Structure 1
Amino acid sequence: MRRTARLLTGTALAVGAAGLVVTPAYGGDGGGDLEVSPSSVVPGGDVTVHTAACKDGGTAAGDASAVGAGDFTLAPAGDEQDATGRFRVPPSAQPGTYEIVATCAEGGRRVSGDLVVTLTAPREQVHPRGSVKTGVGGALGGGDPVQTAAGVAALAVAAAGGTWLLHRRARGDGI
């Protein structure tokens, strides 16, 4: 009986704790529904901001004053229903993480996203090209034909010598 009570109490506590962990800890309007691209930029770089929070092709007022860029407008582009806007990070911007905010014209919903300003541009991945100089040569690289012929001849002599030694050993003549 006590074991069953402990089991039920433990289960209730676990479910209660899980409920506390799963429950969202934010509320109201606001949130991270603003896509900032690129998310990392150098001073003087251009940034595009995109949100789907302003429904039905609505516009929004953007605020990048945290990074020193001031206000900008987000509006639907072409057939898209999502609002898009652009701004330029000032050359005097200091490295750090800045909050970029947009407020929808209808409903006043406020969304935000982060922009990281760095002193060095993110490097693109470089893929190796060409051959590796190992000193061994290769069949695909178009090596020196004289060296290739000498190598083939050396292998042939070694194979013939090995065969001759194995033949003598098999006859019992010794080495």
Structure 2
Amino acid sequence: MRRIARRPARAMAGAVLTAAAVGGLAAPAYAAAGGSLEVNPYSVQPGGQVTVNTKGCGKKASAAGDASAVGAGPFTLAPSAHEGEAVGRFRVPESAQPGTYEIVAQCAEGDQEVRGDLVVTLMAAQEQVEPRGSVKTGVGGSELDRDPVKTAAGVAALAVAAAGGTWLLHRRARGDGI
């Protein structure tokens, strides 16, 4: 019985290893060559500017970029201040639809191609707004008055009430009565 239970486990392990090996062989050529295209920002709104860079194009560090997938068309990646790094920019068209787009660059040296993803979103960053006004509870207003004289008078009234209450509780505890 024990021997039968092991066979399916071994067969399953063999199938997993075979699938992993086949998957490794089917990896994209650009990934195997050791280069990728970094897209910054990764997520952008239509009309936003995108900077791409790569270290995968060798010492000359230049490439022809293509952002046609998002509608921006060709752009150039030129050598940057960092040795072996190519940098380029393009603007996402206002007409771009939300989604994930593949940006591609063909290195000037050899037939190396690098790729990266860009996400286009429609959500804008919202500003924090401080609430103002009153709450409609049906029991009167709750609008805050910022007059310093009224505020000081309110604080003084609370202090007198607290002192009076403390004095009365103290007398009661001593047995003097009210």
TM-score, shorter chain, exceeding 0.5: yes
Match in the other structure for 2:156: 149
Cα deviation for residue 14 of structure 1 reads: 5.3
1:112 aligns with 2:110: no
Match in the other structure for 1:82: 85
What letter is aligned with 1:16?
Answer: G
Structural RMSD (CA): 3.6
Cα deviation for residue 6 of structure 1 reads: 4.0
The structure 1 segments of at least 4 consecutive aligned residues displaced by more than 4 Å after TM superposition are 20-26, 126-130
Whether the aligned pair in 1 keeps the contact of 2:106 and 2:112 (CA below 8 Å) is: yes
Match in the other structure for 1:16: 14
Cα deviation for residue 19 of structure 1 reads: 3.3
* Secondary structure of 2:68's aligned partner: coil
Match in the other structure for 1:27: 27
Instruction: Report the more deviating stretch, 31-40 or 141-150.
Output: 141-150
Identity rate of aligned residues, in percent?
A: 45
Q: Which runs of 5+ in 1 are unaligned?
A: none
Give the number of equivalent residue pairs: 160
> Could you tell me how far apart the structure 2 residues matched to 1:145 and 1:101 are?
67
Match in the other structure for 2:125: 123
Judged with a 3 Å threshold, the aligned counterparts in structure 2 of structure 1 residues 142 and 8 are, in CA distance, closer, same or farther, namely: farther
Whether the aligned pair in 1 keeps the contact of 2:69 and 2:103 (CA below 8 Å) is: yes
TM-score, L = length of structure 2:
0.68
More helix by share: 2
> Could you tell me how far apart the structure 2 residues matched to 1:143 and 1:10 are?
83
What letter is aligned with 1:59?
Answer: S
> Could you tell me how far apart the structure 2 residues matched to 1:142 and 1:113 are?
63
Judged with a 3 Å threshold, the aligned counterparts in structure 2 of structure 1 residues 157 and 174 are, in CA distance, closer, same or farther, namely: closer
* Secondary structure of 1:66's aligned partner: helix
Q: Of the candidates 143, 153, 162, which is equivalent to residue 169 of structure 2?
A: 162
* Secondary structure of 2:29's aligned partner: coil
Instruction: Report the more deviating stretch, 73-82 or 62-71.
Output: 73-82
Judged with a 3 Å threshold, the aligned counterparts in structure 2 of structure 1 residues 164 and 93 are, in CA distance, closer, same or farther, namely: same
TM-score, L = length of structure 1:
0.69
